[in-house]
Amino acid sequence: MSLKEKLLSNMKEAMKSKDSVKLGTVRGVISAVKNQEIDLKKELSEEEILTIVSREVKKRKEASVLYKKGNRPELKDKEIQEMKILQTYLPEQVSEKDFAPYSGSNC
């Protein structure tokens, strides 16, 4: 299943379960993907869709920091919740702890 298909499937699931936060988040990503496809006049690859999702995660991260500084915890929490939803579509990141055995003179 491609990432685009997964997004569409999750949007339908969110509609059925009436999960408004997930629905809004996934709809926003699908909209960003479609807008990019219209701009480029081509179907986007998995990497390009991942780039869009990463960009959306970064936006949520920056917004949550600003909301925290502005003393708006309810909005900060919403941004963090959306960021967690979006991160499920990204490949798992390798932590420094996982990478440590492969670095240095052990190779």
Give the Cα-Cα-Cα angle 23, 80, 56 (nearest 5 degrees): 65
pLDDT of residue 71: 96
- The sign of the CA dihedral 55, 56, 60, 61 is negative
CATH of the domain at 30: 1.10.1510.10
pLDDT of residue 1: 84
Lowest mean pLDDT among 15-19, 63-67, 91-95: 91-95
Please check whether residue 11 lies inside any domain of the structure. yes
Please check whether residue 100 lies inside any domain of the structure. no
Say yes or no to pLDDT of 86 above 60: yes
Q: How many other C-beta atoms lie within 10 A of the C-beta of residue 12?
A: 11
Structural domain span for residue 63: 3-90
Domain tally for the chain? 1
Q: Residue type for 41, please? A: K
Of the pLDDT bands very low, low, confident and very high (cuts 50, 70, 90), residue 69 is very high
Better-predicted residue by pLDDT, 106 or 50: 50
Of the pLDDT bands very low, low, confident and very high (cuts 50, 70, 90), residue 105 is low
Please check whether residue 102 lies inside any domain of the structure. no
> Which tokens hold the place of 37?
């496809």
The pTM score is 0.81
